[in-house]
Structure 1
């Protein structure tokens, strides 16, 4: 099993091709091919994290996304923000999130606190 770190774009592309071929044969875990697939996937994940980092969404984008996912309206957001005017102020970026709002959004809507704080 000749596995080495991914240093270049060429290494990365070769690893992707290798993993694609392994996925096609669907090796069982614990077999040499299964172990190779697991190791290569880990190397690719690390390379992508280093070279293609994903930015966290901004808090308002995350809130709007959760609203869209749940079919929530501005009126549905009142328990988290207060009156309807405050909901619109927050969603239009005219008012920041308070600590109490962040806690409620995190606990009830499961929006990660680091996204809401960031």
Structure 2
């Protein structure tokens, strides 16, 4: 069977079935089957990116996710954000992140800058 671009949902379903068969017994890279697997994955990923885009989380959600992932407490963010009350204001959406905070959160905690630079919806009581 030849590899073709994925243009329709039917093409996508066929490619998914073929790719999923490889997950149980992944072929060696550099072999004909390995190359086929890699090309099919690339096609599926491109189709999904175009038809099912995943939006980045807002900055506060990105920070909270990293805190949960790393077992961090608000006090752990003080070096990147500033005083503890400022950390709580950020997490409560009462204050936006500054460029310096964004840079430090990215550098110190590995939070993707793309997520941190999105506008945050401040709470109504801010």
Q: Please, what TM-score do these two structures have when normalized by structure 1?
A: 0.90
Alignment of 1:88-103 (within 5 A): 88-103=88-103
Query: Does the CA-based 8 Å contact 1:19-1:41 persist in structure 2?
Result: yes
- Counterpart CA distance in 1 for 2:74 and 2:45 is 38
Deviation at 1:25, TM superposition (A): 4.4
Question: What is the root-mean-square deviation of aligned Cα atoms in Å?
Answer: 1.4
Q: Cα gap change, 1:25/1:103 in structure 2, threshold over 3 Å: closer, same or farther?
A: closer
Q: Cα gap change, 1:81/1:31 in structure 2, threshold over 3 Å: closer, same or farther?
A: closer
Counterpart of 2:54 in structure 1 is 54
Query: Does the CA-based 8 Å contact 1:75-1:84 persist in structure 2?
Result: yes
Which structure 2 residue ranges, 5 or more long, are not aligned? 119-126
Q: Please, what TM-score do these two structures have when normalized by structure 2?
A: 0.85
- Counterpart CA distance in 2 for 1:88 and 1:43 is 43
More helix by share: 1
Deviation at 1:22, TM superposition (A): 3.4
Tell me the alpha carbon deviations over residues 17-76 of structure 1, each in whole angstroms, 9 at most, x when there is no partner: 111223444333333222211111111111111111111111000101111111111122
Counterpart of 1:81 in structure 2 is 81
Which structure 1 residue ranges, 5 or more long, are not aligned? none
